[in-house]
Amino acid sequence: MRRHQRRRGSPERETGEGMSQHPHLFSRYCMHCGQRLISAVPEGDTRRRLVCFDCGFVHYINPRPVAAVIPVSERGEVLLVRRDIEPRRGTWVFPGGFMDLGETAEEAARRETREEAHLEVGELKLLGVYTRTAPGIVLIVYEGQAIGTPSAGHETSEVAWFAPEAIPWGSLAFDSTVAALRDWARKHGHPVPDDLPSPADL
Residues marked as catalytic = 158
Count of residues that bind a second copy according to CB under 8 A: 63
**C-alpha span between 197 and 145 (Å, rounded):** 27
Q: Which of 99, 117, 172, 185 binds a second copy (CB under 8 A)?
A: 99
CA distance 117 to 156: 8
Least distance to a second copy, CB of residue 161, Å: 27
Interacting residues with a second copy between 128 and 147 (CB under 8 A)? 128-129, 131, 133, 136, 138, 140
The reply to whether 151 sits near a second copy by the rule CB under 8 A is no
CB 167 → a second copy: shortest distance, Å? 22
**Site for a second copy, residues 38 to 67, rule: CB under 8 A:** 42-47, 52, 55-65
Beta strand spans in the chain (E): 38-40, 49-51, 58-59, 64-72, 78-83, 92-93, 96-98, 120-121, 125-132, 137-147, 156-162
Q: Contact region for a second copy (CB under 8 A) — 31-39, 72-80, 166-174, 186-194?
A: 31-39
94 in Cβ contact with 181 (< 8 Å): yes
Taking the least distance from each CB to a second copy, the nearer of 77 and 106 is 106
Give residues with Cβ within 8 angstroms of 2, minimum separation 6. 154, 155
Q: Measured in Å, how far apart are the chain's first and last C-alpha atoms? A: 18
Binding site for a second copy (CB under 8 A): 1-11, 22-37, 42-47, 52, 55-65, 98-106, 126, 128-129, 131, 133, 136, 138, 140, 154
